[in-house]
Structure formats: C-alpha cells, structure tokens
Chain A
C-alpha cells in the first residue's frame, strides 16, 4: 500500500529565509503522481503542483520549487524568501494509477505546519 511521510511536524522561519519541506513516499507502482497542497487557516486545500513519476525534472514557480528524486523516493518543496502569507499547513500526497476501485485516490501525509515570523 502507498504511504506518504512528512517527518517535519512544524517549522518556524523568519521572513525572507528559505525553507524546505520534506516528503518521502512509498509505492509499489511504477506509474504514480505526486502532489503538494497548501492549507491556510481558512481550511481550504489549495493545489500547488502535480508531478508524474516519469518526469524527474525539477520545477520552479516563482518563489516555489520542487525537487523530485525517484532514487530516494522524495519530493521536497522549497520556498525561497518566505513571506508571512506562506504560513499554512502543507501536504504532500500520492496518487497511484491502476484500474479498478480506488484508482487515482490521493494518499496524504500528515502535513507540515509552516509559520513564517515577521
């Protein structure tokens, strides 16, 4: 069965510092998708990125960047020059791809709470 581990429960950084959120996953499948979601205090989960298992290129979007390493089953998320608005809980999630019941479901990690201090 698939599993997602986010070992960092809480992180606090001072504004403008860089921060990396770790994500390690387990899956038996060779085809799968990885996601990051942000959950601000309002509660709604906001989609940030989707990456498939065949694409190991790192991705950058503004201050956000993602490092996908299949060899270590990791999909880490870095925020550069953090801002107070980045304060939220961040979830890493995995979706396996197969036919039948339960296909494409998201398995979430327990989340990392990021606090950015002004």
Chain B
C-alpha cells in the first residue's frame, strides 16, 4: 500500500539552529500539505502545495519557516532559526488534486517529532 514518507522521524536541535524536514507524498498525489501538531492539539495547516505551486501559506511564520516543492513531487520544510516554541510534531499529508467542488481524503505520513532545546 502506498504511503507518505517523512524523514527524519525524530529531531533534536538547539535553539537558533537550522532544521529541515523531508516529505515524499503518495505517487500521483498533486496536493501536498504540511501541518504542525502541538502536543494535545489537533494538526494545524502550515502550507499547501498544488504541484510545485504554493496554494496557501498564510499560516506559515515566514520570518523563520520556508517550504518548497521544486519538482512538484517531494517537499522540504525548513526552520531557521529554531525557537523553543517550535517543538511539535510536523506532519506531511498528500491527496489527489482537489477541485471542481470535490475534495479527497488526505493521507498522512508518520511525522517528524521536533524537540528544540
């Protein structure tokens, strides 16, 4: 069964360091999402891609976060510099291209658990 791949699974970094997460969506899924999940909360969207284009990054803290999906397949989310409040689970999800009044279920990867010390 096709899965969304993410790496690393766990990351510990010091405050002010740079950190990057990688996501490989299910083959054929044009839409890719990055979510942040703080402990005890539901996931919150950071950025949404349709192929290589950003559809929505209104919730992405652009002073320190960046995301790219250069070839419309895999994606990288970067934080520089990391802050203590960035400690969370970072989840990647993918779905078929939504449109024309239809939406499709999002399939999630295992996530990257980030701890900033």
Q: Is the beta-carbon distance between A102 and B55 smaller than 8 angstroms?
A: yes
- Chain B nearest CB, measured from A50 CB (Å): 5
How distant is the Cα of A45 from the Cα of B113 in the complex, in angstroms? 14
State A33–B98 Cα separation when bound (angstroms).
Answer: 12
Q: Is the CB of A47 within 8 A of B45?
A: no
Closest chain B residue to A108 by CB distance? B42
B56's contact among A44, A102, A108, by CB below 8 Å, is which? A102
- Which residue, A37, A102, A106, has most C-beta atoms of chain B within 10 A? A106
Instruction: Assess A93 versus B55: contact at CB under 8 Å? Given A44-B108, A106-B106.
Output: no
Q: Does B72 contact A (CB under 8 A)?
A: no
Residues of B in contact with A (beta carbons under 8 Å apart): 31, 33, 40-45, 48, 55-56, 58, 89, 91, 93, 95, 98-99, 101-111, 113
List 20 additional A-B contacts (Cβ < 8 Å) besides A104-B98, A106-B43.
A31-B101, A44-B109, A44-B110, A45-B108, A46-B108, A47-B108, A50-B103, A91-B42, A97-B101, A97-B102, A97-B103, A101-B55, A102-B55, A105-B45, A105-B56, A106-B45, A108-B42, A108-B43, A110-B40, A111-B40
